[in-house]
Structure formats: structure tokens, C-alpha cells
Amino acid sequence: MGLEEAIRSGKFIVTAEICPPKGTDISGLFSEAALLQGIVDAVNVTDCPRAMVRMSPLVLSSELIKMNIDTIMHLTCRDRNRIAIQSDLLAAHALGIRNVLAMSGDFTTMGDHPYAKPVFDLDSVQMLQVITKMNRGFDLMDNPLGGATSLYAGAVVNPGARPLGFVRIKLQKKISAGARFIQTQAVFDADLFNEFMDEFKSLNIPVIAGIIPLRSAKSAGFMIENIPGVKIPQAAINRMESASDPVTEGLKIAAETIDRIKENCQGVHIMPIGNHDHTKRLLEMCSLL
């Protein structure tokens, strides 16, 4: 069952994230994918996250599909003008990729090439409009395509952002532009997330909540300082600092968060620090396997 079919069925969705390598060795991809086969509905493949040079998500998404793993390919506006965006969307369809997550992308000053010129010819809302047009058989300028795409478009939101009125305006624009599902940034505060969902349930779009299992208090501090929009309660940091086994404590915190939010969303998206060695264990801890 592909992602779109699974979401339509009302199933509680589990997705997980893989980051392409900085280099040509993709053997690690297959090891990570093997850990996720049979336990997730789709695997997200990131697009140069944090503006760091990585292999194209087109290649790795295609390789995962050959393994019968459905993928959600990230595509950012940071590095492409409208011609390149449309070109990559056509290539994605040709390679059998059907799920695309439209993102603006982190600014280049955050990454390993801080003087790279950002593009941002379109924003994520406009990219969603492009996907909608291409699914109807036309490019952005209303020229007919030699075959329409069939792409299931998703978008992102930060459920911890406030004020909620501003978040609602942006999210409504993404839905109107063609977003069919939402994946969120990392959720550490269940109360904030549930407040967000109470506000947005009327929008009637599947929301898949992002989950990052903490590995140490140090990693928590790094995320707070370096990843925009991440908010980690001090109570969670205190637990990590005092834990004799920080990895297990981080999994417990993640499982508790999932238990507190899973009645209020349609899925979770696991984004580990490092690899997926503990993803199956986390899903078992919160009765999702």
C-alpha cells in the first residue's frame, strides 16, 4: 500500500527520514532502508538539509522504490529556479516517485557553503501550485506537457510557532495550493502540539507529527541553537542530563510524546539523530508495531 492509499484509508501513518550521503557511497542507504522495511509506510529522502551539500534526493528515492519502499522526496526552492523545479518534478515522475514534500529550504548561510547564492525563485506555496498544474498536464506558464505528472504533494509546518493566526494563514495557502498532507517539524512539547491541532483540525488535512528521539542533553542543546523552530521543554533536557542511559531516556521521552499526541494526528514521522538503529524499538514502545 502506497502512502496516498494508506492516508486515504485512515490508517495511522508511520514515516521515517533518511539523509543522502555527502559523497558517492550509498551503501549506508541500503543498511538504513533495511532497518525500515516493513515497519514504515514511506521513507522521506531529504534535499541538502541545513543547506549542507548532499547527494540528490532523486537518485536515492529511485533506489528505494526499487526496494519496494515508498518514498517522500523533499524538494526545496533554495537551490532551483522555476525551470529547474519543474524539470526535477518531471524526472521524479519518470523515476516512479509519487510523493513530494514541497519546502522553501534552509538559508545558505546555515550550511557548509555559506556564500552560495540562494535562489528562492518560488516559495513552497508556489511550488505546490506548480505541482497542481503539472498534475493537470500543464507547466507553470500553462503550456501543455507531453504527459501529466501524478504527484501526491505534501507540505511542512511548525506546530510550535506562534501566533497561531499567522500559522493558519500560511497553512491555508499551502492547502489551497494543493498540499494533500502535512508533516511537521519536531514535536517535543505535546501540549503545544495538541493546542495546534485543536486549532487546525477544521482544515481537514492529514497531519503527520515529526518526532526526534534525543540521544543526549548535548544534542538537545545543539538543536535548540542550530535548528530554527525547535523548542525542547526544560524538563526533557533535565531528564537527559540526569539519565544513566541517555539513548533509552530519549526513546522514552519520544514514546511518551507519541502517546500524548497520537489521538490528535494521523501519523508520526521519525527523524533520528544519526541512524535508525532504535526506530523499531521506539515504535514498539508506543504500540505502533
In a domain, residue 214? The reply is: no
Instruction: Give, for 210, the enclosing helix (H) or strand (E).
Output: strand 207-211
- SS3 call for 101: strand
User: Can you tell me which residue has the cell 496516498?
Assistant: 4
In a domain, residue 261? The reply is: no
In a domain, residue 232? The reply is: no
Residue 7 makes CB contacts below 8 A (sequence gap 6+) with 13, 180, 181, 206, 266, 267
Q: Rounded CA gap, 188 and 46, in Å?
A: 21
Grid cell, residue 61, equals 528515492
Which domain covers residue 15, as residue numbers? Answer: 3-208
In a domain, residue 58? The reply is: yes
Strand partners, 43: 16, 71
Rounded to a whole number of angstroms, the CA Rg of the chain reads 18
In a domain, residue 249? The reply is: no
Q: How many domains does the chain have?
A: 1
Give per-10-residue mean pLDDT for the chain (289 aa): 96 97 92 94 96 95 95 98 98 98 94 96 98 98 98 96 91 97 96 93 94 93 81 91 95 97 97 95 96
CA dihedral 78, 82, 85, 91 (to 10 degrees): -160
In a domain, residue 45? The reply is: yes
In a domain, residue 236? The reply is: no
Q: Give the residue among 118, 106, 209 at the shortest CA–CA distance from 157.
A: 209
Determine how many CB atoms are found less than 10 A away from the CB of residue 79: 19
Q: Rounded CA gap, 55 and 131, in Å?
A: 23
Cβ atoms of 103 and 75 within 8 Å: the answer is yes
Q: Give the residue among 186, 158, 50, 47 at the shortest CA–CA distance from 107.
A: 50
In a domain, residue 99? The reply is: yes
Residue 34 makes CB contacts below 8 A (sequence gap 6+) with none
Q: Rounded CA gap, 95 and 59, in Å?
A: 9
The alpha helices in the chain, defined as continuous H runs, are: 3-8, 27-36, 57-66, 82-94, 124-135, 164-177, 190-200, 217-226, 234-242, 246-261, 279-285
CATH number at residue 51: 3.20.20.220
**Amino acid, res. 78:** R
